[in-house]
Amino acid sequence: MKIVVGYDGSLSANSAIRISSELFPAAEAVIVYLSTPPFGSRGLRARLRHSARNVDELIDLVDRESEGESARLVDLGVTLARAAGWTAEPLVKRTWAGEGLGLAQVGEELQPDVMVVGARGIGASESKIGSVSDLVVHHAPRPVLVVSQHMLSAEHQAVVDGPVVVGVDGSAGADRAIKAAEQLFPTRTVVSAAVDDGDAEGVDATHHVKRFRGSGAGATADALVAFADEQRAAAIVVGSRGRSALKKVLLGSVAGATLQRTFRPVLVVPGG
């Protein structure tokens, strides 16, 4: 299995490597660091400003030293990945499009089986998914695993031996999600769950789950996340596209809502 991991040296990125190595053992991983303007860390640029004699020299120093800084940082991720049992290699790329779109572009180029990003959420916005992971999920052509760094001990233990819960709604997107789960987690029990919405009885699923309250994507995601908690799920799998807007269950919207409502790893499978 080939994996691309977005890495920036943060606790979120380190946690993503640790958790995904439990879900995808013995994988071949490419640890990617995307360098974006202004290149180099703030501390590096501040030091170079004091040592450069003019602007041209400053630009040359930043170019050279930021490359070395990026290489050293991504090497940390490679070391963590190898310690977790992966075969890993580094990749440093400069991008002017931002980390999210840049990582999605790497996914197009390398065509891995799965991409991994840290959620990097929980801040002033109270969002559980950060802007970089959100962009990767929306634009990557490959399945994307989003991992939170704020998992509890029971959730960490579930990653070791828990089943994989797949949200289904009878759509082609849900079918792709099921197939991806079976292919990417061959040693895990795959449990399909359809959230009842009045016309979900005809959906082929292992379990039919009742909503607690309300309607729409948020209520569906709440029910799916609660079911995953009951199952001690290692991960939740959703399709990025579901049934049309004329239907009640929009799996694409549910995918986004699920990412915002759970701390368990979420695999988002793109539409065809």
CA 8 to chain centre: 14
pLDDT higher for 42 or 250?
Answer: 42
Structure confidence at residue 99 as a pLDDT band (50, 70, 90): confident
pLDDT over 80 (residue 262): yes
Top CATH class of 153-269 equals alpha beta
Give pairs for 58-65: CB < 8 Å, separation 24+. Answer: 62/38, 63/39, 65/40
End-to-end CA distance of the chain: 21
Tell me the domain boundaries of the chain.
2-148, 153-269
Structure confidence at residue 135 as a pLDDT band (50, 70, 90): confident
User: Distance between CA 24 and CA 22 in Å, rounded?
Assistant: 6
User: Residue 244's pLDDT is what?
Assistant: 39
pLDDT over 50 (residue 11): yes
User: Residue 272's pLDDT is what?
Assistant: 64
Structure confidence at residue 254 as a pLDDT band (50, 70, 90): confident
User: Distance between CA 132 and CA 121 in Å, rounded?
Assistant: 10
Q: Same CATH topology for 2-148 and 153-269?
A: yes
User: Residue 62's pLDDT is what?
Assistant: 66
* Residues whose CB falls within 8 Å of the CB of residue 90, separated by 6 or more in sequence, listed in order: 30, 31, 33, 71, 74, 75, 77, 78
Query: CA neighbours within 13 Å on the CB side: how many for 259?
Result: 30
Quick one: average pLDDT of 32-61? Answer: 75
User: Distance between CA 257 and CA 176 in Å, rounded?
Assistant: 19
| pLDDT over 90, % of the chain | 56
Quick one: average pLDDT of 232-245? Answer: 78
User: Residue 130's pLDDT is what?
Assistant: 60
Quick one: average pLDDT of 95-108? Answer: 89
Q: What is the pLDDT of residues 165-217, one digit of tens each?
A: 999 988 888 899 999 999 999 999 999 998 876 555 567 777 878 777 767 78
Top CATH class of 2-148 equals alpha beta
